Structures are given as C-alpha cells and as structure tokens.
Amino acid sequence: MFLTLRSAVEEALADALATLDYPTDDLGIEEPPEDVDAVLASSVAFRLASEAGAPPPQVAAEVADALDADDIEYVAAITTQGPYVNFLPSDAYYAGTLDAGQADDYGRLEDTGESAVVEHTSANPTGPVHVGRARNPIVGDAVANVLDFAGYDVDRHYYVNDAGRQMAVFTWAYEHFDEEDLEGEPERDRIEYDLVRYYRKGNAFLEDGPADEVEAAEAEIQAIMQGLEAGDEDVHDRVTEVVDQVLSGMRECLARLPAEFDEFVKESRFMFDGSTDDLVARLKELDEAVYEEDAWQLDLTPHGIEKNMVFLRSDDTSLYTTRDLAHHEWKFENYDRAVTVLGEDHKLQAEQLQTTLDLLGNDTSQLENVIFSWVNLPGGLGMSTREGTGVDLDDLLDEAVDRARQEVEDRMEDRIRDDDLTDEDVDHIAHQVGIGAVRYDIISKQLTKTITFEWDRALDFEAQSAPYVQYVHARTCGILDEVDEVPAFDASALEREEAHDLLRTIARFPAVVEASADALEPHNVATYTREFAETFNAFYRECPVLSEDDPEVRAARVALVAAARNTIANALGLLGVAAPDSM
C-alpha cells in the first residue's frame, strides 16, 4: 500500500507543480514525524518560496489547492501545516493493508525475473570460525534473504580458497607433523578444531624452525603450489583431503547460525578448467600489463589505484586475485547480479578486481560489494586463526543458548500463558532466542561501524535485542492460538489510534524490503523490527483483542494481529532470526 501511495503522491505532486509552472525536479517527499497524522509529506514549499515570491506556508497552501485528494489513490485528504503539505491516508489505505497483511508471504515483492548470486563468508578453510569472521555469514545470509524476498532468484555461494599458499602450508603441515608433535588437545571434538593445530604448528615452525628444515619445508610447499598450477591431480587430491575435512567442520558451525549455501565453489576449479590460464593470457595483452621484477603485473595508476596488481608470480604460479577474476567472469555468465560480502580488509583487492574486470571488457555494473568493518575484542585485540586469538563462534553460540535456557527456566514458575512447555520446547526456545540474539546484535549495526565484541552486550536479552522483537511474535501467536481462524473482518471497525499506527507500520514493510534490497543494507530491516515492536506493544497495551465485546471490533483486531504476525515473522525471517510461537 505504501509503495502505491508513494508513487501516486509523487505523480500527483509533479503534475500539480507543473500546472503551477514550478520545477518538478525535487518534490521534497518525506515521511513526517510520528505526531503528524500524514503518511507522507512534502517540504517543496521551502524551495519554491523565492521563485514564487511568497513565504513557504503560502506556497504550501497554493500547492495543496492544486491537488485533489480524490484523484490520488489511498489519500483521503491533503492538509498544510505551516510550510508542509501533508498527505493523509484514506480508509482504503488501512483496509487494503489489513487485507494484504493476511497473506503468509506479506512483504514479498514481485519477481524481478533476475538472478543474483550472493557470495559470502568464503573464509579460508584453516580452522574454526571465530566471532570476527561471523559478521560475514550473518550479514551475507541476511543480504541473500532480502534479495530473495525482493524478487530475485538467489543462489548463495561460498568461494573456497583451496589453491593458495595458505592451503599449501596447511597440506604440508598436515603431512609433515604427527599428532605427538602438536601442542594441546583440540578445543572441541570436531574436525577443524583438531586439524587447525597442524596449521598453527606449521606456521610457527616456518617462523622459528631451523633454517635448513624451513628451507626444505618451503620447497615442499612450493612443489604443492606448482603441482596445483600444473593441474596435477595427485597434488590436488592431497590438498583436497585437508580442505574438505576442515571445511566440513566449519560448515557444521555455520549451519548453527544457520547459514547454508547452495554451492561451495572451489577456486582450483578455475585452474583445472583452463580459465585461469586463459585469463592470464588476456591480462598480458592489456595496455596496463607490465613485466617487472620477473612478475607480470597490472599498473592500475591510470585508474586511480596506486598499487600494482601482480597476476603471475615469477615462478609462473597464479595468485588468488587472478583466479578470482576467472571466478567472477564465471559468475557474470551465470547471474544477472553478483553480490560479494567481504570485510574492509579486502576493500583494496575488491577495487582492483572490479577495475580489472572492467578492463577485460566485463559489465561490472553487475558486481556489487557489501563491505563491513571489523569485529574487535575489548582492549583493541584482533582475532586470528593462525595465532589462535579470538572467540570461537561455537563458544559464543553455546553460551548464548545456555543463557537463553536459563532465562526461559527462570520464567517458568510465573508463566501465565497456559501452553505447558515441554523440555523439548524449552530447548527449542533457548536455541531460537540465544542464536537470534547473536545474529540480531551483529546485524542491527551499520556495516561501516566497527563492532567491539562484548559477551554481556551481545547476549543482553533486554530491549533492542532479538528477544524483544521475538516476544512480539510470540504475543501475536498467543492471541491467535485462542481463535480457530481469522473471522470475516472490516477494517473500518478499527477506530483506535494504536491500531491505525500499527497498520501504517505494517504498510511500510514492503518499502523497507525494497530499500534494503536496493542498498544491500539488512540492518535497516532490524531497525524496522524494533519500531514495529514498539508500535505493536502500544496496540497490545491499549487494544484488547480476545476480551473485546464488540464482535466487529474483535474480528478486525484479530485480523490486525494476524497481519502483524505475518509481518514480523517475515521481517525476522529476513534477518535469519527465528520467530518463536511461545517464549
């Protein structure tokens, strides 16, 4: 409804301004503050004042006179308030919203007919997923959800680095060291916790080991990389043995969020199918290609990038970025839109990638990057797999679920809702709430802001958290549980201001989806859920549903609660936060 109303207002206002001989390039459409009854307003009078030679309020009146509410869909009246022209919603606006909200998939936009691939996480398979890395799957999953809901045919990809130096080091360490060489026990009984010890041991050895042994190790690592480059299946199998094991453990961890993928795309695939070689040949032909210090590079200074991009090492092996170019051309062939979610430490590389893809003749408007800032530990500490610093995501999720379970159990005694929870229910709710809280905490912040991870804050179940919003969903379910089905209703029976406020908030949801998909910013869905929860709670306080005596009012309120449930369930779904039926 909101989207329809907005375009209707835009069109009508542009027509009116044209009729009055005013410019129509800036309509000044905005959403007024809460205490104003209008759904939309225009501040265009400010801009026209000097041209009109009249004060803004007078111009606003003139503009309002030139408009006819009857001609604008979903607008009941046009008023002025000082310099503002306000557009008030009609009964049909409320009625239409209440009807639309009955659909389970309320908020889903029409199919765009376009496909999109969202690549996210893509962490090197070196060890357990830590909290610093967790922003990527959580944001990435939400971005994919939003695009899907906004009408795209979405695939989720994890790009697996199985051909870089890191994996060569890992493979060498895995083959070279024995269990007894390793320090300590695995922190958890899962494969990546076991194997990461080889990786750490290997890196420590390369740093501090005896010179001659380090040299021999480097030769072995070199041989692995050369083997991969040459398409040697045996070498590939050796590396794959490590990669697949570590990755399987990481996938289990990510599945807890949950973050699932349609495809794990291995970069070695672009070496073995010849596309990397082909790409290198084409890169050499570019005007920007230079051969310096025995390595092939691209001089991108004409394109505003100071740093040269090496695409072929002096030993003739390719680099991550080289293979990533081939990877992206593959994406372009298969998808209309390619979105990559990555940390700010990869920003320069992403710019090089995009510029180079452009030079190679690709349409890089297909490519969009979602870049997020760091997650730090208090005291400015970073998180590193190699050094073993950082908080494991598994530990965070365990703690979150434990604390949530404690909360549920603490509340069991003075529960009023009579839906006898079993132990299984309690466990289920604890998972929904605990993991939801972690996701929400991370997703509700702007991507550009650095996050400092603090246990207590991430697991605060008070307001502005997932449980606060989830509780609203549980409340809607609590009410709807008491009715068999939504009765026939008439929106005009809703007379309370709180009901209208809630309907207006529900009406905005599709616009939130649209804006979030356009900007690739899931955090504003989180902001919306919070506003929604506040609006719903006001309705809940002031407008009893089940105990309402007037059957028409009761029916309309039941329908409103159903619309609210669909809206908040879908909004939470976009965030990947579970929507509990009871809490």
Partner RNA sequence: GGGCACGUAGCUCAGCCAGGAUAGAGCGUCGGACUUCUAAUCCGAUGGUCAUGGGUUCGAAUCCCAUCGUGCUCGCCA
Site for RNA in 278-297 (CB under 7 A): 293-295
Distance CA 30, CA 39 (A): 9
Q: How many residues does the chain have?
A: 583
The single residue among 464, 486, 496, 501 that binds RNA, judged by CB under 7 A, is 464
Binders of RNA among residues 512 to 531 (CB under 7 A) are 515, 519, 523-524, 527, 530
Based on the shown chain and the rule CB under 7 A, indicate whether residue 24 belongs to the binding site for RNA. no
The single-letter code of the amino acid at 112 is T
The single residue among 10, 187, 244, 407 that binds RNA, judged by CB under 7 A, is 407
Based on the shown chain and the rule CB under 7 A, indicate whether residue 474 belongs to the binding site for RNA. yes
User: Do the Cβ atoms of 417 and 424 come closer than 8 Å?
Assistant: no
> How many chain residues are in contact with RNA, going by CB under 7 A?
100
Q: CB of residue 178 vs RNA: minimum separation in angstroms?
A: 26
Q: Taking phi first (over 0 means left), then psi (-120 to 50 degrees means alpha), and beta for anything else, what does residue 576 get?
A: left
Closest by CA position to 232, among listed 327, 173, 317:
317
DSSP code of 80? E
Binders of RNA among residues 412 to 451 (CB under 7 A) are 414-418, 429, 433, 444-446, 448-451
In angstroms, how far is CA 361 from the centroid of its own chain?
Answer: 30
* Strands of 127-198, DSSP E: 153-160
Burial 332-368 (b: 16+ CB within 10 A, else e): beebebbbbbbbeeeeeebbbbbbbbebbebebebbb
Nearer to RNA, 167 or 195 (CB): 167
The single residue among 121, 136, 145, 166 that binds RNA, judged by CB under 7 A, is 166
Based on the shown chain and the rule CB under 7 A, indicate whether residue 106 belongs to the binding site for RNA. no
- Hunting for tokens 């939400």 — which residue is that? 142
Based on the shown chain and the rule CB under 7 A, indicate whether residue 274 belongs to the binding site for RNA. no
Q: How many CB atoms lie within 10 A of CB 287?
A: 9
Q: CB of residue 356 vs RNA: minimum separation in angstroms?
A: 13
Q: CB of residue 239 vs RNA: minimum separation in angstroms?
A: 13
Structure tokens, 56: 């803004």
Based on the shown chain and the rule CB under 7 A, indicate whether residue 503 belongs to the binding site for RNA. no
Phi, psi dihedral angles at 369 (to 5 degrees): -110, 135
Q: CB of residue 122 vs RNA: minimum separation in angstroms?
A: 8
Based on the shown chain and the rule CB under 7 A, indicate whether residue 510 belongs to the binding site for RNA. no
Residue ranges of alpha helices (H) inside 177-232 are 191-208, 211-229
Q: CB of residue 21 vs RNA: minimum separation in angstroms?
A: 18
Binders of RNA among residues 34 to 73 (CB under 7 A) are 35-36, 38, 41, 43, 46-47, 49-50
Q: CB of residue 238 vs RNA: minimum separation in angstroms?
A: 17
Q: CB of residue 240 vs RNA: minimum separation in angstroms?
A: 16
The single residue among 1, 243, 404, 517 that binds RNA, judged by CB under 7 A, is 404
Q: Which residues pair with 118 in a beta bridge?
A: 156, 339
Distance CA 563, CA 544 (A): 16
User: What's the Cα-to-Cα distance from 394 to each of 314, 399, 563, rounded to whole Å?
Assistant: 41, 9, 36
Q: What track of x and - describes contact with RNA for positions 116 through 155 (by CB under 7 A)?
A: --------x-------------------------------
Nearer to RNA, 186 or 343 (CB): 343
Q: CB of residue 538 vs RNA: minimum separation in angstroms?
A: 6
**Helix crossing, 466-480 with 551-575: angle to 10°?**
140
- Hunting for tokens 């949801």 — which residue is that? 509
User: Do the Cβ atoms of 515 and 118 come closer than 8 Å?
Assistant: no
Q: CB of residue 479 vs RNA: minimum separation in angstroms?
A: 5
Based on the shown chain and the rule CB under 7 A, indicate whether residue 560 belongs to the binding site for RNA. no
Nearer to RNA, 195 or 319 (CB): 319
The single residue among 16, 271, 545, 574 that binds RNA, judged by CB under 7 A, is 545
Binders of RNA among residues 349 to 388 (CB under 7 A) are 349, 373-374, 376, 380, 382
